[in-house]
């Protein structure tokens, strides 16, 4: 499994000299499975760059959409494969986190919010909201999902292939002020032993109490989850748009000292555009995790 980050920022694109190293594009992660299947996790502005690369292939594109907030859908109208005649695109998402049965990726391309209408696109796209696990399994893609603690709802995904695994959990508040949809204990179970845990780490203690209940987690809570779930590696994701490169460097340093001497995870990084993580299954169920 090869994971490549194309957009790592939360809420709104944040280009500029203070964010250039980690990147200002919003959520988009590309997952290439060993069996040749490809998955795109969210369609924030990062998907534009990925789209150029996918023009060179004719693989069916499977998009797992966490929810319909702007920062997760905004890149889709600029995703070049949607303009390729006959290109197959399958979107997997839920009615929670979208306008009911209307997939937000498609509904924004309506001739008013964007100059083109979805019905005019030459690609062949479909949206699957029910039984996504079994539909994906039919294409040899094995996932589980969980419900996000986030205003409007949404989905987290855990992808498995030949003993390698990756959990993608963004726009999730681990300790919300009200009763959570998914409890902390359930998140620990969902992430148990995962090789790569990608989790929303948008806030610091200084963002509270103002942003408590906004649907994002604190860096400290995400560190604890990685430890409690025994994750092989942790990737902090969905950086706040106001978080500068220097501030993310500081979080990274604090992560290293927090995890030093602890049993897990062996690797912790803050997501950056173009970062790649390669997972190679080894003997006896272990997985080699390489970050570049």
Torsion angle (degrees, nearest 10) of CA 222, 228, 232, 233? 10
Q: Which is nearer to Zn ion, 42 or 245 (CB)?
A: 42
Q: Which is nearer to Zn ion, 108 or 280 (CB)?
A: 108
**Cα–Cα distances in Å, from 263 out to 14, 212, 273?**
35, 30, 28
Q: Which stretch binds Zn ion (CB under 5 A): 66-74, 188-196, 227-235, 269-277?
A: 66-74
Helix axis angle for 245-259 and 219-229, nearest 10°, is 40
Q: Which stretch binds Zn ion (CB under 5 A): 70-78, 136-144, 254-262, 266-274?
A: 70-78
The interface mask with Zn ion, positions 26-45, x = CB under 5 A, is --------------------
d(CA 205, CA 116): 43
Q: Which is nearer to Zn ion, 230 or 241 (CB)?
A: 241
Q: Which is nearer to Zn ion, 118 or 173 (CB)?
A: 173
Size of the site for Zn ion (CB under 5 A): 4
Least gap, CB of 64 to Zn ion (angstroms)? 14
Among the listed residues 71, 240, 245, 273, the single contact to Zn ion using CB under 5 A: 71
Least gap, CB of 140 to Zn ion (angstroms)? 29
Least gap, CB of 36 to Zn ion (angstroms)? 29
Least gap, CB of 121 to Zn ion (angstroms)? 25
d(CA 40, CA 54): 11
Q: Which is nearer to Zn ion, 272 or 291 (CB)?
A: 272
d(CA 26, CA 7): 5
> What is the number of the residue whose Cβ is closest to Zn ion?
69
Secondary structure of residue 208 in the 3-state scheme: coil
Among the listed residues 48, 69, 87, 223, the single contact to Zn ion using CB under 5 A: 69
Q: Which is nearer to Zn ion, 118 or 171 (CB)?
A: 171
What residues from 203 to 262 belong to the interface with Zn ion (CB under 5 A)?
Answer: none
**Cα–Cα distances in Å, from 149 out to 97, 132, 173, 283?**
11, 20, 5, 36
d(CA 196, CA 194): 6
d(CA 184, CA 146): 12
Least gap, CB of 170 to Zn ion (angstroms)? 6
Among the listed residues 5, 7, 10, 202, the single contact to Zn ion using CB under 5 A: 10
What residues from 137 to 176 belong to the interface with Zn ion (CB under 5 A)?
Answer: 171
Least gap, CB of 72 to Zn ion (angstroms)? 6
d(CA 238, CA 198): 9
Q: Is 171 exposed, middle or buried (0-12, 13-18, 19+ CB in 10 A)?
A: buried
Do residues 253 and 216 lie in contact, with contact meaning Cβ atoms separated by under 8 Å? no
Given the rule CB under 5 A, which residues bind Zn ion? Answer: 10, 69, 71, 171
């Amino acid at each position: 499994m090869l994971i490549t980050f194309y957009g790592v920022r939360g809420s709104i694109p944040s280009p500029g000299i203070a964010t250039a190293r980690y990147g200002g594009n919003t959520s988009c992660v590309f997952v290439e499975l060993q069996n040749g299947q490809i998955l795109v996790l969210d369609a924030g502005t990062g998907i534009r760059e990925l789209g150029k690369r996918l023009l060179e292939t004719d693989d069916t594109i499977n998009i797992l959409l966490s929810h319909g907030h702007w920062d997760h859908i905004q890149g889709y109208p600029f995703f070049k494969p949607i303009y390729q005649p006959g290109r197959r695109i399958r979107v997997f998402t839920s009615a929670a986190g979208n306008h009911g049965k209307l997939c937000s990726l498609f509904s924004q391309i309506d001739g008013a919010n964007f100059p083109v209408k979805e019905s005019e696109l030459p690609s062949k796209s479909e949206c699957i909201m029910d039984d996504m696990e079994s539909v994906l399994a039919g294409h040899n893609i094995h996932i589980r999902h969980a419900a996000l603690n986030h205003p409007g709802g949404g989905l987290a995904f855990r992808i498995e292939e030949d003993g390698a695994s990756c959990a993608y959990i963004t726009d999730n508040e681990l300790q919300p002020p009200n009763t959570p949809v998914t409890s902390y204990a359930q998140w620990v179970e969902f992430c148990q032993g995962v090789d790569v845990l990608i989790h929303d780490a948008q806030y610091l203690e200084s963002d509270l109490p103002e942003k408590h209940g906004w649907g994002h987690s604190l860096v400290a809570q995400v560190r604890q989850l990685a430890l409690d779930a025994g994750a092989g590696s942790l990737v902090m994701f969905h950086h706040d748009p106001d978080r500068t490169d220097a501030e993310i460097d500081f979080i990274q340093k604090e992560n290293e000292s927090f995890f030093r001497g602890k049993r897990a995870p062996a690797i912790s990084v803050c997501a950056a555009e173009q970062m790649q993580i390669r997972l190679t299954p080894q003997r006896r169920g272990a997985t080699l995790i390489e970050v570049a």
